[in-house]
Amino acid sequence: MSIDLNTLTIKKAHDALLRGEYSALELAEAYLAEIEKKNERLNAYLEVFEDAREQAKEADRRIKEGKARVLTGIPLALKDNILMKGKKVNASSRILQGYVAPYDSTAVSRLKTQGAVFLGRTNMDEFAMGSSTETSYFGPTKNPYDKSRVPGGSSGGAAVAVASNLALAALGSDTAGSVRQPAAFCGVTGFKPTYGTISRHGLIAMGSSLDIIGPIAKTAEDSEILFDAIKGKDPLDCTSIELKVNSQKLKVSDLKIGIPRNFLEMKGIDEDVLASFNESIQTLKKLGCAVQDITLPTIRHALAAYYIIMPAELSTNLARYDGVKYGFYKPGDSLLGDYIATRTDGFGKEARRRLLLGAYVLSSGYYDAYYRTAISVRTLIEKEFAEAFKGVDVIATPTAPTPAFKIGEKTKDPLSMYLADIFTVPANIGAIPALSVPSGFVERSGDSSTGSGRVRLPLGFQIMAGHRNDALLFELGKKFQSA
């Protein structure tokens, strides 16, 4: 039977599966057919799992036995840095060539308990280092709205999979906006939870104090369903926390929205992005929200602090990849020569750049000047957020300063690429939750194959809440999308 994937949500699919309108196998087949048709052009998936149909058949057995849960039979995509036992996982890097996960990540384990169907693993920037999915060893992923443009990063493949009906939802990871920014560029919803609410066990580490797994879906409601399924304290991750459920019904009309005008008046923000942002604020006003300007003096330094903290943690985390125990290996003329040859050819250009930067800021004589200073700035930003949330419930910004840019446009200018994260990185530095929802389109010149030479590109609207106030964002996001 024909399944309308364009309008399908997790709840709609769940209800249809329970009613017997179609089976989990038929639903999986519908997505697998779309992957077969589109993936060669988009490069969203690196691998489609051979046992996807068997997973769907097992989901059908659960449904028939009356043991279905909300994610039973739901086809999901998995970013290539989240471990699933028996499956390859490369973090889109040559240095992990051929590596097979020996265990399930906690997030995957909890989704397996629900009976979700994993279709395959998706492309990403190498070790999540990038904002465009161009640094992948397996080549760039293409934006489904204009294949001459990037999908954002580092979870670009996951965002494209959801936007192009190659999966109903996906898991990505967010260290500086890697779920939210590609979600904005691809016209879907991306959620970065409060740090610690989802276990990092089985997530290939980049910046350990910043990394968090997050859902990419069509709607805030779908994001919430996925989040609820994988959240919770995990004894395998000492940074994980339990998120208490707020039983009090949230009233969107009672919310106060803060606008950090000092942050929005910085140079480099696209005029159409600002116009769309102001329209989104008007939508919140129509929902009954009160809007007021706020000042966050230190937030403009968040990006600079991030690009010291992250490379420092990265250089430590990636020190384990030497070709001796697993992955890519290239021989040298000595043990040290083996390490140098393996790491030089195993890591891409951007990875090597950040490794060098991280080693530098941690080196003797520079640790205090750079790393310790960045940690101090981080503490100031956390305090500013805490103070701001005493007066407002939500802080709103655009998700990204521009719509999706052309492939190759920023690769020769790393600083310009890093600035793509300017609105998303503060939430990671502050360890607070943030949600990006689609907020409209802008027209730009596009791929000549479109005929007219013009394309409509999606934009995202970001809302941030105080520490552990994840539920508030889902409630507001759902109201915003319904409006």
Alpha-carbon distance of 431 to 427, in angstroms, equals 6
Quote the CA–CA distance of 478 and 466 in Å, as a whole number: 18
- Whether 483 and 286 have beta carbons less than 8 Å apart is answered as yes
**Strand, coil or helix: 187:** coil
136, 148, 178, 199: the catalytic one is 178
- With left for phi above 0 and alpha for psi between -120 and 50, is residue 451 left, alpha or beta? left
Tell me whether residue 79 is one of the annotated catalytic residues: yes
Which residues neighbour 3 within 8 Å (Cβ) at sequence distance 6 or greater?
Answer: 22, 26, 27, 30
Question: Residue 292, Cβ neighbours under 10 Å: how many?
Answer: 10
Token duo for residue 193:
């939870």
Q: Tokens standing for 231?
A: 């959240």
Q: Which two tokens stand for residue 411?
A: 């690769």
- Closest to 76 (Cα-Cα) out of 38, 45, 39: 45
Annotated catalytic residue 154: yes
Candidates 291, 303, 292; CA nearest to 266 is 303
Query: What is the helix (H) or strand (E) element at residue 208, kind and residue range?
Result: none
Catalytic residue among 79, 87, 192, 479: 79
What is the crossing angle of helices 24-42 and 52-64, to 10°?
150
Distances (CA, A) of 43 to 32, 108, 126, 143, 249: 14, 23, 15, 10, 42
Question: Between β-strands 117-122 and 75-79, what pairing exists: parallel, antiparallel or unpaired?
Answer: parallel
With tokens 């600002």, the residue in question is: 274
Q: Is 178 a catalytic residue?
A: yes
Catalytic residue numbers, as ranges: 79, 154, 178
